[in-house]
């Protein structure tokens, strides 16, 4: 039997076959589209979760890193949505001095900037004192031999630093939780976001369960405890 004869024998069924094929294809397409849409939703949800987790990680890393550098005396104020601190940006070991000018072996996140920084001398009888920084510039001194990673700087202060063992360079900064992001504000400048706006609503600063520290609550059940020593016994006073 030739193929022409086979086709001839099946005449009259083409339309039905076509309709069935179209129906099946539509059904399959609908199912596939449904799967695709569902997958896109899952992907979008996962992406948001990942980015939100990133934001929490960044917030925790920034705040824990800052908290490790400070003590209770360096926390100026705290509330559910803000934390004002002395944010340390460098430390210098005095190696020579003449009245208000001091040479230090300096190591820090950045060089001191008189426009935004102050200096906290640390030593016997110098508790919590801060001195305005008038000028800071690299300058060698015969008595100052820097170790690897250190730079010799000449600091001019508003007053004599006293018998300081260390000069800590700090800026007055404030961390905010607003519009679902952790933000940082230096002095009177604007609030700069440190994370994406993906922290869940209700994130706040709160006392830790033992009342000895402050923690960042980022969502129900998700808590990042900051090192306790940075608030210590002042927690009640800061966050009643």
Structure-token pair, residue 111? 């060089």
Q: Which stretch binds another protein (CB under 8 A): 105-113, 187-195, 199-207, 214-222?
A: 105-113
- The secondary structure element, H or E, covering residue 65 is helix 14-69
**Under the criterion CB under 8 A, does residue 163 sit at the interface with another protein?**
yes
Question: Which residues on adjacent β-strands are paired with residue 225?
Answer: 215
The nearer residue to another protein, 107 or 191, going by C-beta atoms, is 107
**Under the criterion CB under 8 A, does residue 39 sit at the interface with another protein?**
yes
The nearer residue to another protein, 132 or 163, going by C-beta atoms, is 163
**Under the criterion CB under 8 A, does residue 11 sit at the interface with another protein?**
no
Give the total of residues touching another protein (CB under 8 A). Answer: 39
Structure-token pair, residue 37? 């849409």
> Buried (b) or exposed (e) across 194-220, using 16+ Cβ within 10 A?
bbeebbeeebbbebbeeebbbbbbbee
**Under the criterion CB under 8 A, does residue 35 sit at the interface with another protein?**
yes
Exactly one of 12, 127, 233, 240 binds another protein (CB under 8 A); that residue is 127
- The secondary structure element, H or E, covering residue 237 is helix 235-238
> Would you say 116 and 132 are in contact if contact means Cβ atoms under 8 Å apart?
no
140-159 residues near another protein, rule: CB under 8 A: 147, 149
Question: Which residues on adjacent β-strands are paired with residue 184?
Answer: 175, 192
The binding site for another protein (CB under 8 A) comprises 3, 6, 25, 28, 32, 35-36, 39, 43, 46, 50, 57, 68-71, 88, 90-91, 93-95, 107-109, 122-128, 147, 149, 163-166, 168
């Amino acid at each position: 039997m030739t193929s022409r004869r086979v086709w001839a024998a099946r005449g009259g069924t083409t339309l039905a076959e076509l309709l069935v094929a179209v129906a099946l294809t539509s059904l399959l397409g609908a199912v596939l589209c449904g799967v695709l849409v569902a997958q896109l939703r899952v992907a979008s949800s996962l992406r948001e979760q990942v980015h939100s987790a990133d934001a929490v990680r960044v917030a925790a890393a920034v705040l824990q890193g800052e908290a490790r550098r400070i003590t209770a005396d360096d926390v100026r104020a705290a509330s559910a949505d803000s934390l004002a601190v002395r944010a340390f940006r460098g430390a210098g070991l005095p190696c020579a001095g003449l009245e208000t000018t001091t040479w230090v072996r300096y190591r820090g996140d950045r060089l001191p900037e008189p426009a935004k920084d102050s200096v906290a001398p640390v030593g016997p009888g110098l508790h919590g004192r801060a001195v305005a920084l008038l000028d800071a510039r690299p300058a060698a001194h015969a008595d100052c031999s820097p170790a690897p990673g250190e730079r010799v700087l000449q600091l001019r202060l508003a007053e004599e630093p006293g018998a300081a063992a260390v000069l800590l360079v700090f800026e007055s900064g404030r961390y905010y939780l607003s519009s679902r992001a952790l933000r940082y504000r230096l002095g009177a400048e604007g609030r700069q976001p440190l994370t994406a706006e993906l922290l869940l609503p209700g994130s706040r600063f709160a006392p830790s369960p033992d009342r000895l520290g402050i923690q960042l609550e980022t969502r129900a059940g998700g808590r990042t405890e900051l090192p306790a020593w940075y608030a210590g016994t002042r927690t009640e006073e800061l966050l009643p």
